Structure 1
Amino acid sequence: MNYKILVAEDDEDIVELLTLYLSNEGYEILSANNGEDALRIAKETKVDLAVLDIMMPKMNGYELTKKLREVSNLPILILSAKNQDSDKILGLGLGADDYLTKPFNPLEIIARVKAALRRFYDLGADAATSSDRLCVGDLVLDTSTCTLWKNDTEISLTPTEYKILALLMKSPGRIFTKVQIYESINGEYFENDDNTMMVHISKLRDKLEEDPRSPRYIKTVRGLGYKIESKD
């Protein structure tokens, strides 16, 4: 499949570099040098994945991520010079699936783009053909529609949050390490991905738990990883 990738970045050298490497992998590249044009392209054209800078004119990457999430659940990868944990937490919290900092290795970008496309389109299709519903306590995850319900209330999930929750709910009580979770949803694990995984787990708890500081469902097994339980 000839995937279309939107690159929103105001640095022409980076756009050219990403276009060169991504095009060589067979992807069709659409580019914009500001957030407003990127949003317009995403609304007018079927885009399969977006790579976004944060510091852009007219609309920054955070606002663009938020706007994209209102109309699409496509994979979003943030690529930014802003490298503080607070920046990453904000980007992931707004709905991005991944966050990389500049300077970057183009080969790592390729690996992460491939993994994001695979987990969203290929693995997502597989999930839809398996058991339609996963139930743990008050949670019901419909894998045919990729929607989550808690006590008849729908809870919105990002694609990455859905993948994590589906993995855990398929095996209640089983402990998954951070590496196992990340490799399952992302295809490849990098040493700097620990904080990213912790942010995704934290955001899931905010959505699922009555008291995220004392979680009922997603529990930390100290020194090992995470598991989901149906009861306290």
Structure 2
Amino acid sequence: MQLAADSEVVELALWRAVEAQHVVSTMPLVDTRAEQRLLEELIEDAKPALAPGSSRLHYLLATPFRYRNPWGSRFRAPMEAGILYGAEEQRTACAELGYWRWRFLLDSPALTRLEPAPQTVFQCLVSGPAIDCREPPLDAQREAWTDPLDYTACQALGRAARDAGVGLIRYASVRDPLHGGCGAVLTPVAIAHPAPLAQEAWHLMVTRERVRWWRTEWSRSEGAFDFDVEAVAWTHP
């Protein structure tokens, strides 16, 4: 694959949904705020170093590049460098995270549901050379890029894209029933603005049959998303 030749410089805003970080989980472990600050500092010191090029970034933007994991993800093989995944629409970002929360629930037999929990949905600006799995010549392998469970081909593409100096892979969401556009940001250098462009508070509730999102404050954006698991045909290994 001639990925560098097939790439095109783009500027794109992506939404990402994550568990809310303003909920301080360490406070119940200590007696005072001073002790809590010390505990947070110790935890921070124990974390992996920030990825090169990410020290300028807000923590929401830097964190995805900071960690390697033994499981991998769609465009990242196990223990490879971190990737920031985002979506062009809020609905798509919520579908993607909602799917993984649903998977967690199904893998936890003792749980019947995940109670409403605060989430942060934020938007970031990315720019640089990008390839698009929805466009020629990559669209010829559409089935490989959209396989719901087997990421082998996608991970090989991600590795080749890094080697070619490509900073962003654009693709169709597998979890969003409308298959909205997604982006896998391969390097923090591709983050064009050091802070989120927008940041919103949402809640997420998950049952075995349904995933529900709703906003906790007013805005001009849509206020709720409801994913019926049977209707969206999510799969589980």
- TM-score class normalised by the smaller sequence: under 0.3
Could you say which structure has the higher helix fraction? 1
Rg larger for: 2
Between the two structures, name the one with larger relative contact order (CA 8 Å, sep ≥ 6): 2
Could you say which structure has the higher strand fraction? 2
